[in-house]
Structure 1
Amino acid sequence: MKKILVRLRLTFIALMTLTTSSCSNAQNSEITPTVPTVATIPTNPATFAFSKGADVGWLPQMEATGYKFYDTDGSEKDCLQLLKDRGINTIRLRVWVNPSNDKASGHCSPAETVKMAVRAQKMGMRIMIDFHYSDSWADPGKQTKPAAWAKHSFLELLNDVYQHTFDVLYALKSAGVTPEWVQVGNEIPGGMLWPEGSTSNWTQLAQLLNRGYEATKAINPSIKVIIHVDEGNNNARFRTFFDNAKVNNVKYDVIGLSYYPYWIKSDYTKTIADLANNLNDMVSRYDKEVMVVEVGGDYTLVQNTRDMLVAVIDAIKKAPNNKGLGVIYWEPEGEKSWSGYQLNAWQSDGKPSSALDAFK
């Protein structure tokens, strides 16, 4: 954690003077940072009724390796502009505590996240921040604690989650960005910060999630907190998780879903009804807003991916009581020869796939 604070202070040394108090106990701990007054940079006044988004965590890394992006006429353009031209109005950014894995060393750090968020906001984009609470990828198969937290007690982990969340969001706020949404954890059907925060100990997981919620609301109560689970077509999976969240008094605003027919070896036509039914059930059962925060299709099946996106957007828009907030494509710019990722939405010539026209 100390490394993160040092990095943020170097970036915002004139603005950040934070103090931290210890957790008094596992169930009812309070952390009250001392926050100086910061002049807020005006944000883009444009508002969008429906969020059409892209997760672009790879973008700064691609640019650092010299990757170039082109429009259909062959002209070189900023990737964010290409996405905006196709209807994208929201940018999702993952943030790692102290990124150290081989391929992405130094990327998706708090400092880089701030820089990317400022860049996207200047283009009129809305911002979502996705906290992995790890030094690398966190997903259903792995929720590895950051190295700096590895030997911490549960009480210390509560403090870590709060302070890391607060510090990153405060750095964003200091730079003039207040995200519209914050994810506390990434694809966490089995919990996060294993083993302490696994779903085998819901009492502890609930406390960790609530510390992320509390830190977010301390920055700005209007930020919506998302809890994110994968397999958005799997209603039983979602009921199991969110029934437990309700029993354990987890605080959140939005249910986030991933939807990847490719990974379950099925065409979207076989599961889109299940996704729609699950969205409707989440709204009616828990009275929460819903959002597909990750979606993707095979880049070689352009029409199929475009049709899938149209169907997902339609399913979200039809969620009861106007509680469907939007759809976000995961790493559309991650062209296969650079990333090795099959579910991007980019062509080998550096141009966006027409599948993204579904967002127009």
Structure 2
Amino acid sequence: MILPGESDEAIAAAVQALRAGELLGLPTETVYGLAADAASDVAVARIFAAKGRPADHPLIVHVADAEGVAHFAAQLPDFAQRLIQAFWPGPLTLILPRRPGVGQAAAGGQDSIGLRCPAHPVARALLKACAAQGLHGLAAPSANRFGRVSPTTAAHVRDEFGDALLVLDGGACQVGIESTIVDCTRGVPVLLRPGQIGRAQVEAACGQRLRSQDELQAPDPRASGTLEAHYAPSAKLRLMDARALQDGLDLLGREAARLAVYARVPLKSPSAGVILRRMPEDAAAAAQELFAVLRALDDQGVRLIWVEAPPDTPEWEGVRDRLRRAAAA
């Protein structure tokens, strides 16, 4: 059941459902989440079961404010505090040392936990209402089956889980790809997943160089969305450069069928069985529509999606990451 997220009655119903251990479709500025009370191992187990997600693959916990951070995190390094001041509420997740005895199921059994304070007004209203009722945070991975395309509208969530799930409708997500994840458990900031907030922004805010995963000897903590194959549509996705796309269309000619091409350059095909979609030239606009486009092409029954590889520039890093993982599936 989809309810208008700006309604006080809908927020109250959502809090009641969460307190009862039920799941909820939650809008954020990045993607829609499948939320449950992070303190309830039983409720969190329902997330894993609904998504078909391995129980040792951790979830991000969404909090309303600094009190939520203090409830889940054992310590907060100075550079992490600077990142919070710069980017929260917003699309940045911090991996922090976990307080013993809290959020164990949501953390996938690790001694660290991922925390984020979302900027979406519906998510913020719900988290504040939850905090007033003693719910310190909501575990909320993307509201889709494990490894598949993330949802960016309430209708996408309903398509995944049916009408029985309560979903707060917050409109189409403005960012469109998941949050940047920075590991703050090893004394220096380490990028685990790129997103809208880029490397240069993180470094400027925290006053330290942002390390990559392969620079440090110690193993990285497991984190959401970091599997090699992820974010995949049902159709097979292939990344190609612009010349290869047009050459492929010319080679297939009129025989091409059930093929979609998503590219920034204008392309031509003589076949009526080819769907041509233009990708925005702007990285933020491309990120905002990416998952919705992949879902729409799946709905049109294509078997293969050719995508023009994004530019190798910092602003496109988040989109490149999602497409690379989708192509690996």
The normalised TM-score by structure 2 is 0.30
Structure 1 or 2: more strand by fraction: 2
Work out which structure has the larger RCO, using CA pairs closer than 8 Å and 6 or more positions apart in sequence.
2
